[in-house]
Structure 1
């Protein structure tokens, strides 16, 4: 082969691929390119863990980039994230730490995260918990959230219980199911359906989509705590840890 240091060249190539740094062009003729390509394949087949390491490095890099973008979005949209007047606040409205959750009523992981929210609010009476209606799982979800938002306008003091009941269980959240639950709280069905057509609902959902996009949120549940967007049902202990850090150093990571 024309190369005297094939392994060195391969190492340089792989480093460039994993760190996204440009490599100087290698002046290879067609035969050398074919031979070098075969050598790369042979080497990777014999050492497949390299691909896994590169993938892990890429994921770490993407996570870091996402975190930086989310921090900038949080800084630029604090009022819309933490203090939107249309959002419902559970827990202590004057709490010293706010947790914001983006959720969908048909999200299985949101059902799991709901128990974390309940436990968190029971354990920590000084947490302010904001709910962001984020219907992303199809027409049924959108309709169920419309019912919920209409219910919220009619009976805000009962919304916490309604929210837990609609998100509980294995029944798919639909318009009809949400209305039946709302009626169980004594809300008038005619008024509930009329409220679903309020243009403010569309405006609120659109704003939540825009915030989610800015924050890099594409799934549910997702949370915002202090200066961090937290993706997924991470569990009660993780949330409590980030809340404790916020109190200690005004950041989720001290």
Structure 2
């Protein structure tokens, strides 16, 4: 039986006589009944699709919740992930981002306003370069900047950078924040840099994220641009749940 036929048969029970349902129907007869039911009750197509979408959404939410439960320690406490804000804060906000993502750049002032207003937030950054080679180069440079104690300076400068992140623009920003470029290039190839990016890819796949930015705040998985007020509400909910 085809997928289309399987979807449509979800709505047939209310429209096909019980005597027909009781028969041992072959595929050809099922298709006849499907077409007959559609002609008489075309709205069942949308009803069947809605049922399928609801089931798929429920399965996805269940899988995401399980992934968050099993991977929470790695998501929030990976020693190979940069931490801004208060390292000892009582609520952890995790952001997966890409330096070439326009929505990540738009959310930058929202996130900065959040941690400026709430000194008890741990902000964990996960470099997730999914928008091309320039994104990968930028992510590797940012992670390498940790060796020179410049991750935060470099990160904010890159988020404020106009134009696409490519090798030339990344190195220009690196010079502007005082990074040693020769050391940076060497440190970009360190195993921990690739490990961080690989872990980000793994976690986003398990969590069901499909774009940047994406946030994890307590039990909430939040894809896309979020304003400061909404971020603050999610932080408050996570803080309350932890009490």
Normalised to the residue count of structure 2, the TM-score between the two structures is 0.81
CA contact (8 A) 1:155 1:187 kept: no
Say how many residue pairs are matched: 231
| Partner of residue 187, structure 1 | 179
| Partner of residue 130, structure 2 | 136
| Partner of residue 208, structure 1 | 200
| Partner of residue 3, structure 1 | none
Determine which of 197, 217, 221 is the counterpart of 2:213.
Answer: 221
Name the CA shift for 1:101/1:44 in 2 (closer, same or farther; >3 Å). Answer: farther
CA contact (8 A) 1:93 1:128 kept: yes
Shift of 1:233: 1.9
Name the CA shift for 1:27/1:65 in 2 (closer, same or farther; >3 Å). Answer: closer
SS of residue in 1 equivalent to 2:92: strand
Structure 2 CA distance, aligned partners of 1:89 and 1:242? 19
Unaligned runs of 5+ in 2: 1-7, 14-19
Determine which of 145, 149, 159 is the counterpart of 1:167.
Answer: 159
Unaligned runs of 5+ in 1: 1-10, 17-22
Normalised to the residue count of structure 1, the TM-score between the two structures is 0.78
- Could you report, residue by residue, the CA deviation over 1:84-128 in whole angstroms, capped at 9, with x for unpaired residues? 112111111111110101111111221222222112112222111
Shift of 1:55: 4.4
| Partner of residue 245, structure 1 | 237
Shift of 1:12: 7.4
Structure 1 CA distance, aligned partners of 2:34 and 2:55? 27
Name the CA shift for 1:171/1:54 in 2 (closer, same or farther; >3 Å). Answer: farther
Name the CA shift for 1:176/1:59 in 2 (closer, same or farther; >3 Å). Answer: farther
Name the CA shift for 1:62/1:164 in 2 (closer, same or farther; >3 Å). Answer: farther
Name the CA shift for 1:129/1:53 in 2 (closer, same or farther; >3 Å). Answer: farther
Matching of residues 19-98 of structure 1 within 5 Å:
36-43=33-40, 47=43, 51-52=45-46, 54-98=48-92
The RMSD of aligned alpha carbons is 3.0
Shift of 1:163: 1.2
Shift of 1:141: 0.9
